[in-house]
Amino acid sequence: MSEDSRFGLGRHVNLPGPLPLDSGALLAPVEIAYETYGRLNADASNAVLICHALTGDQHVASPHPVTGKPGWWTRLIGPGKPIDPERHFVICSNALGSCMGSSGPASVDPATGAPYAMRFPVITIADMVRAQAMLLDHLGIGRLHAVIGGSMGGMQALGWAAIFPDRVKSAVVIASAARHSAQNIAFHEVGRQAIMADPKWRGGNYYTEQDPPTAGLAVARMAAHITYLSEAGLTEKFGRRFQSRPDKATGAKSFGFDADFQVESYLRHQGISFVDRFDANSYLYITRATDYFDLAEDYGGYLANAFRGSATRFCLISFDTDWLYPTSESRAIVHALNAASAQASFVELSSPFGHDAFLLDVPEMNRVIDGFLKANGA
């Protein structure tokens, strides 16, 4: 398949490496699964890298091969949309440590011929960024017109601007933060403990049994999903409504531990559907990577130092009901960018959808991104 198709193409590349990791380990080979949309122009100046969120994947604008659902950002990417394959060469890769084709705990360890499982080295957001840089080198792309991401994808976008400032013309960081808070680490630890407490986890060695720890992973997803929503959104959508009315003949209520409330049924559905498309060990590794993320730590504890001398133009977007990565986190990044004399614009948008707003129908977000990219020559 040629690199100039205007339509989504799924690809997989096995790069020899080695990739030096922050842990001190060397990873080789490095497998990267990715999709592209559009044509790379003659001087390779129209490349836009999309970085996915925690449990996202490379299927950003094409149907998911497991669920059959449309790509997770089809509202933003497509003909006539802010990121347009007619103008942009769009790349989205599965993050290092994930489970949709890139190197992760489910990958085969060449030293043993068996899945790595928990022998896979611990990774960081910076490691994910360096793996993406290896992919861009493979594709012959020296500089990105833009790197765009929300949530964990926003962390990667910040990482790109800090680690490879000469390779990033512009960066769009949505509903994200420059470090993981204690509250976020706590929620992730609840999820990890749910997985590891499942007897089917087997210390991570469940691949040959083909009987993964689905119960633990479902609970982890339920706990995390609560953080993606807002109290107002939950109240409006579910309130305290029950799944069914009391018995019409007797008027008696049922009491027990089934999913009596609609919100309980919703969370259980989210957990059950998640285990069909995601790997439990990958969930452990990727949540740990976000927990370790503290961009200022590598720059003497001062976030501004990460961006000093940067020619990258930044656009930051937050949402007023996002309590996972609240607006204060984006403001802290903007203050650091201002202190570093970097060019930055910032907007807080109103949405009832909480953190998940960046994935949902928020036309104003599209307008902001469209205006920013066009102002920067795309």
Contact between 330 and 314 (Cβ < 8 Å): no
355 is catalytic: yes
**Which of 98, 103, 107, 151 does the annotation list as catalytic?**
151
Cα 37 to chain centroid distance, Å, stands at: 19
Fill in the DSSP letter of residue 325: S
102 is catalytic: no
Burial of 41 (0-12, 13-18, 19+ CB in 10 A): middle
**Which of 322, 330, 351, 356 does the annotation list as catalytic?**
322
Contact between 371 and 144 (Cβ < 8 Å): no
- The label of the residue with tokens 């690809």 reads 11
Beta bridge partners of 93: 34
Euclidean distance between CA atoms 174 and 152, whole angstroms? 9
Contact between 154 and 176 (Cβ < 8 Å): yes
Strand ranges of the sheet holding 343-349, from the earlier edge strand across to the other edge? 9-15, 30-37, 89-93, 47-51, 146-150, 170-174, 313-319, 343-349
Contacts of 368 (CB under 8 A, 6+ apart): 315, 317, 347, 349
Measured CA distances, 21 to 105, 127, 130 (Å): 15, 6, 9
**Which of 88, 230, 355, 356 does the annotation list as catalytic?**
355
Beta bridge partners of 47: 89
151 is catalytic: yes
Catalytic residues: 151, 322, 355
